[in-house]
Amino acid sequence: MDFPTNLIISTIPQKHIMDKNVESFGEPYTSGVDGCLLKIISEVLKFPPNLNYGKKDENGNWSGIIGMVQRGEADLGIGQIAVTRERMEVVDFSVPYTNQDVTFLIKKPGLLPVSWTIFCPFEGSIWILLLCALIITPAVYRLLLNVKVSYSRVLIHFYTSIFGKSIPVKDNSIKVRSLIAFWIFFALIITNSYTASLLSYLTLPLHQKAVKNFKELSSAVRQGTHKCLAITGLSRLRYVDEESIRYLGEAIIKNRWYVERTKGLSKDQISVTTAVIDLRFVLEMLTAELNSDSYIISDDALFSWSIAIAFRKDFCCKTKINRLVERILNAGIYEKFIRDARRRVQISTRRKISHYRVKPVCIHDIMAPCLLLVVGYIVSILTLIGEIIFCRISGKFKRFLEYECPLHT
């Protein structure tokens, strides 16, 4: 049977997937990953791609691809169509030409406060262990000494050794020298690790913790701190067994947090508290258009869908298209379309990104050390004043005792 030459193909204009363009001499053509795939199929099977982009209703929404194929208004449907059980009841599908998982994109939260980065290199538990080591080690050292030394003096010696000052040894026994040697090695490792980590924090400040998976996203939506936009057609989320995902789907339907694929996504729709659920490829292309360092795509996947071409149930030449799609896949042509699309977007956006300006260290960056220094000076001054007052009070009290209670010899 000869391949028909008057096919009607249903699709919806989608950026980077099925773009509708017009050449300089007025001839229309398609671009995008699925547009390039359709172009190869039409050239090999020698039929003109008579595209039907559907119709817009009064609300600006397009009629669906599957509905047009089911009603016989189109012979084929293409445009990142996921193969589902419900759709297989009304249309047939070709062999899948790609697999896409459904995930979400969200903007990274703000940077951690730079002024307190002196505490960031170590976790709280590490700081507590270091404090315990600084308190216990001088006590053990004092017990091993054969001479009596005040604990405060030993504590100061061990504390200053962290910054490279030597520890005066008043006992040459092996046990004391071994303890000091282990402490100096420990202090060397800790100080070098802290210095390296602190420099990395100052060079590249860290972001605050962001939502990483669907469970955290569902919890944030439940608490009212986040909202989640989704492409139209993800209403099946409410039928998932997992309760957190089911709640997320119900929240999307209740609040009508939908995004029309034909309208695309804009930078203003995505924020620190607004996530967008879509196919991974679509989100990757979006991050390539935007500043990819400011947005993150979750590694968690909600679904993994097989993407295929939709056929009318009584379409005659399904086998020919299936064979051609398999040849395209085996040659890696469709993957090349995806790589080329990403590269084009990266090249076009690279020109828009300005070079980062080198920023010198300012007072805000060293606010925490300055505050600690001021607090230390205040504590020292208050301690000095307290000692002076104590000495004067104790001196007066001593003279009072000598005057009121003289010693009789």
What is the distance between the terminal CA atoms of the chain, rounded to a whole angstrom?
136
The whole-number average pLDDT for the span 60-76 is 76
The whole-number average pLDDT for the span 324-328 is 92
Domain boundaries, the chain: 113-206, 361-396
pLDDT of residue 310: 92
The whole-number average pLDDT for the span 255-276 is 77
- Tell me how far apart the alpha carbons of residues 217 and 228 are, in angstroms, rounded to a whole number: 8
Largest CA distance in the chain: 136
pLDDT of residue 47: 81
Interacting residues of 261 by C-beta distance below 8 A, sequence separation 6+:
12, 14, 231, 232, 282
Out of 133-137, 152-156, 199-203, least confident range: 199-203
pLDDT of residue 353: 47
Highest mean pLDDT among 36-40, 51-55, 172-176, 401-405 belongs to 36-40
Highest mean pLDDT among 7-11, 118-122, 148-152, 351-355 belongs to 7-11
- Tell me how far apart the alpha carbons of residues 393 and 403 are, in angstroms, rounded to a whole number: 15
- Tell me how far apart the alpha carbons of residues 14 and 18 are, in angstroms, rounded to a whole number: 5
Q: Compute and round to an integer the Cα radius of gyration of the chain.
A: 35
Top pLDDT among 109 and 330 is at 330
pLDDT of residue 403: 61
Q: Is the pLDDT of residue 350 over 80?
A: no
Decide: 292 and 345 in contact? Cβ < 8 Å: no
The whole-number average pLDDT for the span 352-366 is 61
Q: Please state whether 385 falls in left (phi above 0), alpha (psi between -120 and 50) or beta.
A: alpha
pLDDT in tens, 184-237: 899 899 999 888 888 777 777 677 788 888 888 888 889 988 888 887 666 566
The whole-number average pLDDT for the span 36-40 is 89
Q: How confident is residue 316, by pLDDT bands cut at 50, 70 and 90?
A: confident
Q: Is the pLDDT of residue 370 over 60?
A: yes
pLDDT of residue 93: 93
Coil, strand, or helix at residue 388?
Answer: helix
- The mean of the pLDDT values for the chain is 80
Q: Is the pLDDT of residue 110 over 90?
A: no
pTM exceeds 0.85: no
